[in-house]
Structure formats: C-alpha cells, structure tokens
Amino acid sequence: KLLSVQIGEQGDFFALIDAIGAGAGQKAISELKELLAERDAISLFFGLVGHFRVLLQAREIVEAGGGENDIAKRVGMHPFRAKKLAGQARRFDLPMLETIYQRLLEDDLKIKTGLVEPNLALEAFIASLGVSSDA
C-alpha cells in the first residue's frame, strides 16, 4: 500500500534503486532523467523518500530473519512487490540505508524551506552516494 504511488504507476523506481545499489552512476542518472520526464521533481523526490523508507523497513525485516511474506504483511504490499523489495534490500546493508534515508530527510527539509530545488536535490543525492560515472 505504501508503494502504490511510488512504484508501477510512472517510471521504474526499482531500476533507479538497483542502479544506485550497483554503483552504476550513468544508469542511475539515466533512470532519474526518465522518471523526471514523467513526473515533476517534487513528486519524484517524495516518492524516492517513501521508497527508501520502505526499503529500510524491508532490510530490518530481512536482518531479523524475515522473508518476502513477512515484508508483504508488515509493510502492507502485494507479495510480488515484497519479493522485488526483499531482493533489493539485500543489496544494501542497514547502515548504508540509514545513511541514505537520513540524507533524504535532510534534503526534504532543504526543499521545504526553499534552500534547494527538488531537481538539484535529486541530482545531488545520486552524486552523494558516490556511484561511479561508468556503469
């Protein structure tokens, strides 16, 4: 339920997150541009925040020994999405997800207070992850 707006309706958040997780900078930027062509930056940014929030929850469930069914039940999503999310959660360690989510919350505050434009926040976020430019 939490991901119904963020995934599947526009663009492919999973492809963007997979590219980030793989350290594939060019692919991540390409996916970001594709998503930005379909959505406004503010909507995309907050969708990304929501996706990483659920990804962090999924990783915590996986670390506690849970599986896809546990993720589906606890997060309230379709089992197919929970399966994709579980696979993705395994590509990130918990400290990395916590760092990413904290960065997004900081950017959220900057956007809401007018210190940064959403497009710039998205691009800077991907750059801050240290993904390589050759993917």
Structure confidence at residue 3 as a pLDDT band (50, 70, 90): very low
Backbone angles phi, psi at 132, to 5 degrees: -70, 155
Q: Which of 88, 91, 61 is nearest to 75 (CA)?
A: 61
Q: How many helices (H) and strands (E) does the chain have?
A: 7, 0
Contact 77, 14 (CB under 8 A): no
pLDDT digits (tens, 9 = 90+) for 58-113: 999 999 999 999 999 998 888 988 998 898 888 889 999 999 999 999 999 999 99
The CA distance from 56 to 80, in Å, is 18
pLDDT digits (tens, 9 = 90+) for 31-43: 999 999 888 999 8
The CA distance from 71 to 101, in Å, is 19
Q: What's the pTM?
A: 0.80
